[in-house]
Structure 1
Amino acid sequence: MFVTPCLQRKDIFFLLVLLALALIVRLYKIDQPNEVVFDEVHFGGFAGQYINGTYYFDVHPPLAKMLIALSSQISGYQGEFDFGLIGNSYTSNVPFVQMRTVSAILGALLAPISYITLRDGGHSIQASLVTAIAVCFENSLVTNSRLILLDPYLLFFTAWSLMSWNKFFKYSNRPFSSSWWIWLTMTGLGLGCTLSCKWVGLFIIATIGCSTINQLWGIWGNLNVTKMRFLRHVLARTICLIILPMILYIGSFYIHFYLLPFSGPGDSMMSSHFQHSLIGHEIDDSPIDIVYGSAITVRHLGTNGGYLHSHDAAYPEGSNQQQVTLYPYQDENNWWIIRKMNSTLDFEEKESGDLLGSDGRTWLDYVRHGDIVRLEHIKTSPRRLHSHDIKAPISDDESYKEVSGYGFPDYEGDSNDLWRLVIPAHDKSEGNDDKYGRLQTLRTTFQLIHPMQSCALYSGNKRLPDWGFGQQEVACIQNGKLPKTLWMVEETHHDLLPDNTTKVNYPHSSFWMKFKELHQRMWTANRDLTETHPYQSRPPDWPMLRRGVSFWARDQRHIYFLGNPALYWASTISIFTFLILFSFFKVRAHRQIKEKFNPLRQQYYEQAAGFYTMAWAFHYLPFYLMGRQLFLHHYLPALYCALLVFGVGFDCVLQKWSPSAPSSPVHRSSTSSTSQVMTTSTKTISAFRASLSRWSVASLWIMIIITIFYLYAPLSYGLSWNQASCQEAQWLPLWEFDCGRYTQGALSSSMSAVDSPTSFTMDSSELDSKLYPFVHTSYHGEL
């Protein structure tokens, strides 16, 4: 791969023009629509959580969200706006324009970065310029970078990493020089920041990692390199490309936890241990010993549903008895009294027991493994925890029995109120030690087995409908698995427990405990994003742009996430053309067939296009392994890499009009005998004709790119359009941008003034947003 030692003056001119164009394209009417669009629902809302310090949960790492929050806070946002629904109108105190502008600037920087990336690889100005124009006027990149989303940050750091790695290769023949160290460090910073925005940042790490291994392999094979010098190469890359990204990634989570000290809407996704480390969710110390007559709260361990809960509302069918659910927040309806099988009293007069009460005359008994108990709901007493041979309200299987609150005054209850308390750890303890046989606060996990129905108190992740207030279903399951039938007493109190009774609370949560748990929850939540969405798509749809995503709609305006078809199709063709040609030439080389092509082909085309194709593959192919909900915007990092392949291929085509092969400071092609006898005037004319041809081809492509961008601009910006233009632009059947919403009149589709919206007509499917929704061949053989 050829490199240029530095950018020329005309390169600086083109960079400035590209940046200005990209800013104009992305900042045009960025204040419209002045409503919440697509995933601004989530990421705008998270900015408010950072400002207020209230904990939230998301499936992505925090760096991009913290940068969004920083831009909003600098702009004066106080975090009070409700981003909860697509279409909510922004109020005057929400700096949504400033927040979108940061995304737009990062998106605009992709154009000059792509230009620098190709120029640093030794490619022509024309090819680099066409590629940068493609990035500048690619509709899906434009749409995505005009909103408060994570992808502009992800794409910027991905592009920065590729550019920095290219620049690092420029200095590979001067190892350990200051420039060498600077760009190696910049690459590591880019990798760490990319990963800290989204986990798909692992794909760019894999790309650079494979290139690093390939380069180190080449250095190891150089007999002029001493072992000590080779170890220095390994150590430098380990520090900059492994340790530095890890520090950035872990550090982003440390700041994340620091900025969110208060209890917030994300509590319910975390364990009780994690929740109680947040301010506002603390609990008082509770006695470790649980005796009969104690008031207790019972937390489910198998899910994050929360506390065993009941309230004064009945099931609409089944037994029509009082509902029992899981509720994620502390509430007075979470409190129960644990009683002996035949007891309905708080205290009983006895002559002996396990513990003498603080009044000096009442004996108290510990609750033990194997006891038959009743749980009486304090708020709606005398209703008790009850189950019977009636199917649970929303679980379809007959093995799920309804759990209810049942009882009335002067009624002693029946056998369906009885539960056997089973402590699994007791059976594993040596000699059935009493320590493991007693029920203890925050120390003992237990099951409640219903003897009459032979089922265990259970909860899954099923949510009740509106009549159950969206709370989690509780059932009694026959032959259920242990994890989701386990419970724990979180709080307890009893008026007669002695004052010297040991009290307990949740242990302090260290940063590493929180870090580990949050990653487990993020992984699980990502894996469970399997619900269908009207605009979801699968990886085979993306390279050929088979469908898009509806972001926002109102009246005769629609923001529909759709790419520039010419660029999607051309970049995909470039990828497969390279793979075909690469395989073709490898077979010919294996057969020792002499090529008539330019001897610089391998360095100039194969290695450059090979690297970007590898980057494309790493950013695209892993999605085939994912069963989660996916959308077209997941293809954007791969699209950027594909556009770089397109640029290299375009430069290869331009060689047809080149008077001579490109040269480099490290290797110059020999001049043919014909060239040596050419007169100066002939050379000048030849060079002029070649240059004119190259610029003509480049200009033609630039015109095509901008024309098609302009055709779909009404969907990118949410501009007024007309039905005829919409139908003409609907090239593929799955492009669902609903031409019926536009009038048949000749409304201007140009970038004209946008009227303020008056009525919201988006249907429920459009309102439904997604939940949030690894090899490089070295450019050079030199060190």
Structure 2
Amino acid sequence: MENINNRKHKQKTIDQCGDNENKNEKNTTENVIQESCKNLKGDVLNYSNDKKTNKITNHIPREEKTKFLRINFEIDLLSVGLFLCGLLTRMYKLEEPKNIVFDELHYGKYVSLYMKNTFFFDSHPPLGKQLIAAVAYLAGFDGKFKFDKIAGPHDSIMTSAFQASLEGGLASITKGQPLLVAHGSQITLRHTHGRTCWMHSHNQVYPIRYPDKRGSSHQQQVTCYSFKDVNNWWIVKRPNKHDLVVEQPIDVINHGDVIQLVHGITSRALNSHDVAAPVSPQCQEVSCYIDYNVSMPAQNLWRVEILNKDQNGESWHTIQSLIRLIHVDTNTALKFTGRQLPDWGFHQHEVAADRIINQDDTVWNVEEHRYTKSEDQKERERELVTAEMIPTAATSLTFWEKFFELHYKMMFSGTESVQNHMYSSEPFEWPLMSRGIAYWVSSTSNAQIHLIGNLLLWYSGTIGLLIYFVLLIFYLLRRRRLCYDLDENTWEQFQLIGELFLIGYLFHYIPYFFVERTLFLHHYLPAFTFKTLLLAALIEHIHYLNTHIFKVKFFNYIFILLISLWLLSIFYVFLKFTVLCYGATPLTTNDIINLRWKDTWDFIVHKN
């Protein structure tokens, strides 16, 4: 009975469809019905007996709405977990010890200087310290630490022009001094770029012979001295004039003029000749000439070349003019060599004359300046010793001039003072963590904070670097022979590992081999981060090889077991050395000795 009813209903529907075909109605709903009916005619035999299919539904398709904004929000639980672990271990006992630890002393001082608008030279990018200063300000700190210098520490590393534009310090000395250098000017000559020092001389002479059996001129020493001193003063003199008093109108020194420089205290003229310099034998010795009545006449004429005459004019200006002094007889330039003299030179820096003229170390500028008022030598000496200028107007530099100079000094100042430190280390020592850094030690016990890494993780990362490099060479050689061990997606991922992590590691590590400054283990930490990420990616790659290439379950189980034991061991090492991370645990001498896993680790033991 049911089949008969279905057939009747089907025939009725077909008839209805036939009628609809004869009509040209534009109604959208009826057009949909017509299309449905045509399908029914062609598929009568396959008509379903299901009651639900007996209903013909008029369906009008809807156009999808254009999505102008889509926000996808995902949470990586593993990353969140690592972040929380890092946050907890960092914040745990952060308030201990109740003492200044390592560079916190400098950061507190720098924050204070920022808040007092006092200039200081920072060899690092300043944003971090500025953020600390901002937080300190919001917390109510007013910066009032006690400091002796208002001009700020390290301002002497900047050029004379930069210093003179600051309030206090050098500005209080230079603001009232004459602008134009003339015959009879008393000046101090500062090495402009690089290390801060002033051309200097004293009564001592060069040794007759050096340890390598070379001979010297035995003339008066000329050096570059890093401190203000009365022996830094020189008097500018025209070769054809003998009276050193500055008269009106003043005889201004211009670009290209030939002059003599007379040492203010000893009254001997700056000299050079064809004798090898004491520490840099490829250069000529520079001295103050002493007439020994031997066959070595004075060669004391120097030509003034003003490098920035296009900006400041042909005349020699105090502070602003950057000059080179060219020795007339030998066509060599007065140069700061950067080399230190031995004991006989009081470890001051060498000044020589170099045939290579165009270099930064041959650039000088006048810093302090006054006009000679007396011809009497004793009176001149008294004037030099008591020299003091009265501030009148500040030297001005534009913002961009200061900006570029400050960043130039930030990039290159680290090469100016290489010093030894008991916890300094060399880059080749870092991958194996040969030395750490003592940050703090308790005055009442052996409790201490020591920068030292997790030895197991440190060595694993170094080994991981080597394994990745070997695998990379292996894959490249195999692909060269058209042996494709990895599918294209896996190979691209393996290459991406190297592009990100290996190159990132080398980029943050290799440059330190060419840096001439004191280095510590913490300089390796950015490279270490990339090394650790590379290790994690390498472990994932090896797991992929076990599961998709070798396909030996036993090997994969062993690998997972070894990785689990390795992670537990890393955690054990972390727990063992936490006493050196937080400094809250009093340690005995035996405790310190037991933690000294390498002979090169210098832990502090000062309490039994």
Q: Which category describes the TM-score, using the shorter chain as reference length?
A: 0.5 to 0.7
Q: 1:264 aligns with which of 149, 152, 156?
A: 152
Aligned match of 2:127: 63
Asked if 1:384 is matched to 2:259, the reply is no
Aligned match of 1:734: 600
Distance, in Å, in 2 between the alignment partners of 1:440 and 1:489 is: 8
Distance, in Å, in 1 between the alignment partners of 2:527 and 2:582 is: 23
* Bigger helix share: 1
Aligned match of 1:52: 116
Distance, in Å, in 1 between the alignment partners of 2:197 and 2:346 is: 14
CA gap 1:480/1:704 in 2 versus in 1, 3 angstroms = same
TM-score (ref. length: structure 2): 0.59
Q: 2:446 aligns with which of 556, 561, 570?
A: 556
Q: 1:721 aligns with which of 587, 593, 601?
A: 587
| Aligned counterparts, 1:358-507, within 5 A | 365-366=251-252, 373=260, 375=262, 377=264, 384=267, 400=285, 420-424=301-305, 441=318, 442-443=320-321, 445=323, 447=325, 459-461=336-338, 473=349, 477=352, 482=357, 484=361, 487-490=364-367
Aligned match of 1:639: 528
Question: How far is 1:511 from its partner?
Answer: 3.6
Aligned match of 1:628: 516
Question: How far is 1:709 from its partner?
Answer: 0.5
Distance, in Å, in 1 between the alignment partners of 2:192 and 2:117 is: 27
Q: 1:26 aligns with which of 90, 115, 119?
A: 90
Distance, in Å, in 2 between the alignment partners of 1:296 and 1:558 is: 52
| Aligned counterparts, 1:700-711, within 5 A | 700-711=565-576
One-letter amino acid of the structure 1 residue matched with residue 536 of structure 2:
G
| Higher deviation after alignment, 63-72 or 556-565 | 63-72
Distance, in Å, in 2 between the alignment partners of 1:37 and 1:479 is: 46
Question: How far is 1:707 from its partner?
Answer: 1.2
Gaps of 5+ in 2: 1-71, 208-217, 291-295, 374-391, 550-556
Distance, in Å, in 2 between the alignment partners of 1:564 and 1:63 is: 29
Q: 1:541 aligns with which of 408, 429, 434?
A: 429
Contact 2:304–2:326 (CA under 8 A) maintained in structure 1: no
Aligned match of 1:510: 398
TM-score (ref. length: structure 1): 0.48
Distance, in Å, in 1 between the alignment partners of 2:526 and 2:464 is: 16
| Aligned counterparts, 1:293-372, within 5 A | 293-294=184-185, 296-301=187-192, 304-305=195-196, 326=225, 338=236, 343=242, 346=245, 357=248, 365-366=251-252
Distance, in Å, in 2 between the alignment partners of 1:293 and 1:656 is: 83
SS in 1 for 2:301: strand
Distance, in Å, in 2 between the alignment partners of 1:289 and 1:83 is: 35
SS in 2 for 1:724: helix
Question: How far is 1:566 from its partner?
Answer: 1.9
SS in 2 for 1:551: strand
Aligned match of 1:572: 462
Aligned match of 1:202: none
CA gap 1:623/1:480 in 2 versus in 1, 3 angstroms = closer
CA gap 1:655/1:722 in 2 versus in 1, 3 angstroms = farther
Question: How far is 1:563 from its partner?
Answer: 1.0
Distance, in Å, in 2 between the alignment partners of 1:448 and 1:713 is: 61
Contact 1:268–1:304 (CA under 8 A) maintained in structure 2: no
Contact 1:304–1:328 (CA under 8 A) maintained in structure 2: no
One-letter amino acid of the structure 2 residue matched with residue 64 of structure 1:
G
CA gap 1:610/1:324 in 2 versus in 1, 3 angstroms = closer
Using CA pairs below 8 Å that are at least 6 residues apart, which structure has the higher relative contact order?
Answer: 1
Distance, in Å, in 1 between the alignment partners of 2:354 and 2:481 is: 65
CA gap 1:69/1:323 in 2 versus in 1, 3 angstroms = farther
CA gap 1:548/1:82 in 2 versus in 1, 3 angstroms = farther
SS in 1 for 2:88: helix
CA gap 1:592/1:506 in 2 versus in 1, 3 angstroms = same
Contact 2:259–2:303 (CA under 8 A) maintained in structure 1: no
Q: 1:510-547, CA deviations, whole angstroms, 9 ceiling, x for partnerless residues? A: 34333333343333334556555444444443333343
Q: 1:233-263, CA deviations, whole angstroms, 9 ceiling, x for partnerless residues? A: xxxxxxxxxxxxxxxxxxxxxxxxxxxxx84
CA gap 1:712/1:54 in 2 versus in 1, 3 angstroms = same
Aligned match of 2:293: none
Task: Indicate the RMSD between aligned Cα atoms, in angstroms.
Answer: 5.6
Contact 2:234–2:261 (CA under 8 A) maintained in structure 1: no
Distance, in Å, in 2 between the alignment partners of 1:579 and 1:444 is: 50
Q: 1:690-712, CA deviations, whole angstroms, 9 ceiling, x for partnerless residues? A: xx999988765553222111111
CA gap 1:741/1:466 in 2 versus in 1, 3 angstroms = same
Distance, in Å, in 2 between the alignment partners of 1:693 and 1:588 is: 27
Distance, in Å, in 2 between the alignment partners of 1:302 and 1:287 is: 23
Gaps of 5+ in 1: 85-261, 349-356, 358-362, 406-414, 430-434, 497-503, 662-691, 744-783
Question: How far is 1:278 from its partner?
Answer: 2.6
Distance, in Å, in 1 between the alignment partners of 2:258 and 2:92 is: 71
Question: How far is 1:565 from its partner?
Answer: 1.6
One-letter amino acid of the structure 1 residue matched with residue 406 of structure 2:
L
Distance, in Å, in 2 between the alignment partners of 1:303 and 1:584 is: 47
Q: 1:15-70, CA deviations, whole angstroms, 9 ceiling, x for partnerless residues? A: 66655543332233333444444444544443333223233334332222322333
Asked which structure has the greater CA Rg, the reply is: 2
Percentage identity across aligned positions? 27
SS in 2 for 1:563: coil
Distance, in Å, in 2 between the alignment partners of 1:439 and 1:654 is: 72
Question: How far is 1:568 from its partner?
Answer: 1.7
Contact 1:548–1:632 (CA under 8 A) maintained in structure 2: yes
Distance, in Å, in 1 between the alignment partners of 2:602 and 2:345 is: 36
Q: 1:55-87, CA deviations, whole angstroms, 9 ceiling, x for partnerless residues? A: 333433222232233334434444455899xxx
SS in 2 for 1:423: strand
SS in 2 for 1:731: coil
Contact 1:303–1:461 (CA under 8 A) maintained in structure 2: no
Question: How far is 1:564 from its partner?
Answer: 0.7
Question: How far is 1:443 from its partner?
Answer: 4.4
Count of residues paired in the alignment? 477
One-letter amino acid of the structure 1 residue matched with residue 464 of structure 2:
S
Q: 1:195-214, CA deviations, whole angstroms, 9 ceiling, x for partnerless residues? A: xxxxxxxxxxxxxxxxxxxx
Q: 1:544-574, CA deviations, whole angstroms, 9 ceiling, x for partnerless residues? A: 3343333344552333322112212233333
CA gap 1:323/1:21 in 2 versus in 1, 3 angstroms = same
SS in 1 for 2:450: strand
| Higher deviation after alignment, 635-644 or 625-634 | 625-634
